[in-house]
Structure 1
Amino acid sequence: MSDQTSPAAPRSVLAPLRAVPAFVAENIWLSIGIFLLGGLALLSFGAPLFTAFDPVALNVTQRLKPATEGQPFGTDLMGRDVFARVLYGGRISLTVGLTVAFVASLVGLIVGIAAGLIRWVDVVVMRVMDGLMAIPSVLLAIAFMALAGSSIRNIVIAITIPEVPRVARLVRGIVMSVREQPFVEAAVAAGTPDKALVLRHILPSTLTPLVVQATYICASAIISEAYLSFLGAGTPPEIPSWGNVVAEGRSMFLVNPGLVLYPSLFLAATVLAVNIVGDGLRDRLDPQMTKALR
């Protein structure tokens, strides 16, 4: 008996790996985005594996040194290793982006479903959402940071606040459309409880566009964190982030352009990867919409 069943184990383990080429062929852009984003995440969260330098350690005797084998990006005005600061800075951007996308999607989902199903919530809460959307997000974020102070938690809150109304309006529109569908009306006529109605019929209809929207929120949050830090209203100066690295290196751009170019390239690559993943998810999760757009 054991001789007959033992060969099945390796096949079951290798089965997912054999499906990878087919998945890549069917979802080429999604695969490229996942590969690029995964590589950037590995470099950022696995920074100690790729550099032995402390990103905040000062060494004034090594200021503005050119690239070497151990320091491929050289050093900045304070003698800090630029390569280490760029890698560790990716942790801040990715953490802020993913956290903002999750929190904004969750809060917007709750508000949007409530507004789409309960009339007084739609009248009151959505007017508040419209008011928040009328304020430029950068001004709202800067004002909040000026009042609350510089910290990663406050950055997440400042960027999340303008994103919630956009998610709420998206979900509200979907809910108002789905609730008029015959299968929902039939469920209501059959006496389905409100909780079961939301979980079985309303919520699943919102997940596909919500997942796609979350990827764009993540990309937007990464950019927002960078320009807030660049303006001095984001992460504290002692914490390496791409915005801080660019802000500190702009005065020495003519001496060492890499102080600005390297973190900017990593920022652009990360935002590009997130957007590619979002487009790939849209194509895979909602092929009908993709065909309509084309």
Structure 2
Amino acid sequence: MADTTRDPVTGRMTTGHEWNGIEELETPIPRVVLFFLAATALFSIGYWLLMPAWPFGWSYTKGLLGIDQREVVTEQVRDAAAERAGWTTRIANASFAEIKADPALMRRVVETGRTLFEDNCAVCHGTKGKGGPGFPNLAAGSWLWGGAPEAIAETIRVGINGTAKDTRTSQMLAFGRDGVLQREQVLAVVAYVRSLSGLALTATEQASLPAGKEVFAQNCVACHGPEGKGMQDLGAPDLTDTNWIYGGDAQSVLNTVHGGRQGHMPSWEGRLSPTEIKLLALYVGTLGGEKK
């Protein structure tokens, strides 16, 4: 056995282990540690006896208190649904105008609509509704199919170029790829379209504006209108503002005119209830106004 000695500083015995002149003390476990270990063991035993704890494979121990968390959660969900029923029923039965005129209801719309939007729409349009390449900016107030709550609700319900029987349908032709226009005509109309929203043009683009205006009049006014302000009945965007779905730089507009575009939005009917669609339509209207 190793020789043990008493340490002159601490008064504790050493273990007899020594390394390079350093001796190891025989230090007992602090009593506070033993206390907490005992308390933890007693708490565990008490919890096992009182609460559901041990699985059997087909069931579990119910505990002496008989507490069932599933029943607790079910009751909480039931209470929450009952609390929501009061104002959701009002939203379901009231007109859009009546809801917007009620500040208390609109607070509910914003709170609940934000959650619905983030869960279902933010993946494409962003959490703030500002969109991105290929996805419209819902906060800009520039609407393809109309920004009134009724129009927004209908777009949400049926989708765009979707699978619903009455889906909204819109497509832009591939004027360059399909040979409808020659490349010089495509470049000219690209310059003209960009000029409609006041974008800076090169000298070459400026020189092509008369030809571009003529190409536009012959090929584009049927959907975008003679002034390029779009047609909401067709889902054709306003080309005179600064909101570009696919980008307003020369290359992006060239890609659009040459290859065409066909956006897509799923139909939410059947996935969301009519009340949820109504809530979403009202919430989307608060993102950037309902000017158009």
* TM-score of the pair, normalised by structure 1: 0.25
* TM-score of the pair, normalised by structure 2: 0.25
Return the structure number with greater relative CO, CA threshold 8 A, min gap 6. Answer: 1
Q: Report which of the two has the higher share of helix.
A: 1
Structure number with bigger Rg: 2
